[in-house]
């Protein structure tokens, strides 16, 4: 088969179309409704294969096809599947039915309408192992930390040091979600610049990773930020990612390794708290405690002539028991801060807040502070403080 014939696109498109007993878990009947739409599309030859699943309250459509990324046909298909699932959700009276379908008018691309999308077009290798990660109660930047560790940290990925095919390193495409600009940074040379950006995961988000030696795509993350799209609170963005494994890419075990440390991510209750990202198997892919803690599922597949062989439920494994236990301990520790930062997110990152109303109500009760001008008022603005720090190191 020629390279052109071996081209296949993997599309993971997800949406919260309503869930059972709160923002907790997708109902099986809504998954069945979406599956029927995809089965019909497979029968007609629009897609090669599909797998419908869920993590927490997010319905996940995993599809393979030959239409390339951003295909109106495939996005239209996903939209139909979500619509049908949302109809069932409404009929069952599920909670927040239709939540992520922000517009009634589909115009060729689900981006900007609510669903999250991760897609990559590849030329299928002799054997093409991939991992699909799906998280609930967090945001796309939650993948910054594991993506860095997988593709740039030799203490995580032995292959960066000892596999000649990976030794040149990887390139990271980082999106500034506030400005709509992106930058591509090479590792290991620009590792510190990369970290300077992606250490702020609410703004700078790793979108794609490429192998430097031949520009092959290695990973892609959904970067939709629902709250930015909608201009008001509609839930966190619950990201998905696709990562290619083995044979010149990180090994399966190198891809899973970062999740043995449940790092803190933004999201959790009301999209407004820091909490640990707990790796779980599908049977535990539901959000309970304080609407969480944020969870992540990893499914392994082989793509074979476009077919999805699998999945294997990668975190459903005693090897991740200790990570789950650590996550619970961290969850306890963070919860004890109650409404205080740093458990609660900073005001600029919270999904919603009553602060303006509180300030309005109290505005006549605020009195001038004694000696404010003299002793208390900051002498310089926050932005000036930052450039001051720069000068300090000149």
- Enzyme catalytic residues: 16, 233, 236
Residue with Cβ nearer ligand F6R (211 or 270)? 270
**Residue span 219-238 as binding mask against Mg ion, x where in contact by CB under 5 A, dash where not:** -------------------x
Q: Which of 49, 121, 128, 136 binds Mg ion (CB under 5 A)?
A: 136
Residues 379, 373: Cα–Cα separation, whole Å: 9
Q: Which of 10, 11, 14, 16 binds Mg ion (CB under 5 A)?
A: 16
Residue with Cβ nearer ligand F6R (69 or 350)? 350
Q: Which stretch binds ligand F6R (CB under 6 A): 2-10, 58-66, 268-276, 377-385?
A: 268-276
Cα–Cα nearest to 61, from 72, 71, 45, 47: 47
Asked whether position 271 contacts ligand F6R by CB under 6 A, the answer is yes
Burial class (CB in 10 A: 0-12, 13-18, 19+), 193: middle
Q: Which of 10, 12, 33, 57 binds Mg ion (CB under 5 A)?
A: 57
Asked whether position 67 contacts Mg ion by CB under 5 A, the answer is no
291 binds, among ligand F6R, Mg ion, none (CB under 5 to 8 A by kind): ligand F6R
Asked whether position 23 contacts Mg ion by CB under 5 A, the answer is yes
Q: What is the full DSSP assignment across 198-220?
A: HTSTTTEEEEEEEETTT--EEEE
Asked whether position 23 contacts ligand F6R by CB under 6 A, the answer is yes
Asked whether position 269 contacts ligand F6R by CB under 6 A, the answer is yes
Stretch (H or E) spanning 8: strand 7-15
Asked whether position 344 contacts ligand F6R by CB under 6 A, the answer is no
Q: What is the full DSSP assignment across 326-338?
A: HHHHHHHHHHTTT
The contacts of residue 248 (CB under 8 Å, 6+ apart) are 163, 165, 166, 211, 216
Site for ligand F6R in 197-236 (CB under 6 A): 235-236
Nearest-approach distance from CB 286 to ligand F6R, in angstroms: 13
Q: Measure Cα distances from 114 to 28, 150, 220, 229, 296 in Å.
A: 21, 28, 18, 7, 20
Asked whether position 270 contacts ligand F6R by CB under 6 A, the answer is yes
Q: Both tokens of residue 297? A: 């599922």
Residue with Cβ nearer ligand F6R (2 or 357)? 357
Nearest-approach distance from CB 329 to ligand F6R, in angstroms: 21
136 binds, among ligand F6R, Mg ion, none (CB under 5 to 8 A by kind): Mg ion
269 binds, among ligand F6R, Mg ion, none (CB under 5 to 8 A by kind): ligand F6R
Q: How many residues does the chain have?
A: 394
Burial class (CB in 10 A: 0-12, 13-18, 19+), 255: buried
Cα–Cα nearest to 284, from 24, 14, 28: 24
Asked whether position 295 contacts Mg ion by CB under 5 A, the answer is no
Residue with Cβ nearer ligand F6R (153 or 291)? 291
Q: CB–CB of 97/17 below 8 Å?
A: yes
Burial class (CB in 10 A: 0-12, 13-18, 19+), 221: buried
How many residues line the site for Mg ion (CB under 5 A)? 8
Q: Which of 58, 100, 224, 291 binds ligand F6R (CB under 6 A)?
A: 291
Residue with Cβ nearer ligand F6R (96 or 191)? 96
Q: CB–CB of 108/118 below 8 Å?
A: no
Q: CB–CB of 260/323 below 8 Å?
A: yes
Q: Which of 83, 137, 171, 344 binds ligand F6R (CB under 6 A)?
A: 137
Nearest-approach distance from CB 137 to ligand F6R, in angstroms: 5
Q: CB–CB of 101/15 below 8 Å?
A: yes
Which residues contact Mg ion (rule: CB under 5 A)? 16, 23, 56-58, 96, 136, 238
Which residues contact ligand F6R (rule: CB under 6 A)? 22-23, 96, 137, 235-236, 269-271, 291
């Amino acid at each position: 088969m020629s390279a052109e014939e071996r081209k296949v696109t993997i599309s993971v498109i997800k949406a919260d179309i309503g869930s059972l007993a709160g923002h907790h878990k997708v109902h099986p009947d809504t998954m069945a409704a979406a599956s029927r739409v995809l089965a019909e599309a497979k029968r007609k030859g629009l897609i090669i294969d599909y797998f419908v699943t869920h993590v927490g309250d997010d319905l996940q459509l995993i599809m393979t096809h030959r239409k390339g990324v951003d295909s109106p046909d495939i996005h239209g298909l996903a939209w139909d599947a979500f619509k049908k699932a949302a109809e069932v959700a409404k009929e069952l009276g599920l909670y927040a039915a239709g939540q992520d379908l922000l517009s009634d008018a589909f115009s060729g691309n689900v981006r900007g309408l609510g669903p999250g999308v991760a897609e990559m077009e590849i030329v299928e290798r002799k054997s093409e192992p991939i991992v699909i990660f799906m998280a609930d109660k967090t945001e796309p930047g939650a993948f910054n930390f594991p993506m860095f560790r997988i593709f740039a940290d030799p203490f995580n990925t032995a292959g960066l040091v000892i596999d000649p095919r990976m030794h040149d390193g990887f390139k990271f495409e980082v999106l500034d979600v506030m400005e709509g600009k992106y930058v591509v940074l090479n590792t290991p040379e620009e590792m510190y610049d990369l970290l300077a950006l992606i250490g702020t995961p609410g703004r700078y988000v790793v979108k794609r990773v490429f192998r430097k030696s031949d520009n092959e795509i290695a990973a892609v993350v959904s970067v939709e930020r629902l709250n930015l799209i909608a201009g008001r609170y509609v839930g966190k963005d619950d990201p998905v990612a696709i990562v290619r494994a083995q044979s010149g890419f990180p090994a399966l075990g190198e891809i899973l390794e970062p999740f043995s440390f449940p790092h803190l991510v933004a999201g959790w209750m009301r999209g407004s708290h820091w909490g640990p990202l707990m790796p779980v198997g599908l049977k535990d892919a539901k959000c309970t405690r304080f609407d969480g803690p944020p969870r992540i599922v990893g499914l392994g597949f082989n793509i074979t002539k476009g077919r999805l062989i699998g999945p294997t439920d990668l975190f459903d494994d005693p090897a991740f028991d200790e990570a789950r236990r650590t996550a619970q301990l961290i969850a306890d520790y963070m919860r004890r801060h109650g409404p205080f930062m740093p458990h609660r997110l900073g005001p600029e990152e919270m999904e919603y807040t009553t602060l303006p109303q509180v300030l309005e109500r109290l505005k006549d009760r605020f009195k001038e502070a004694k000696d404010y001008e003299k002793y208390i008022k900051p002498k310089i603005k926050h932005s000036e403080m930052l450039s001051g720090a720069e000068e300090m190191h000149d």
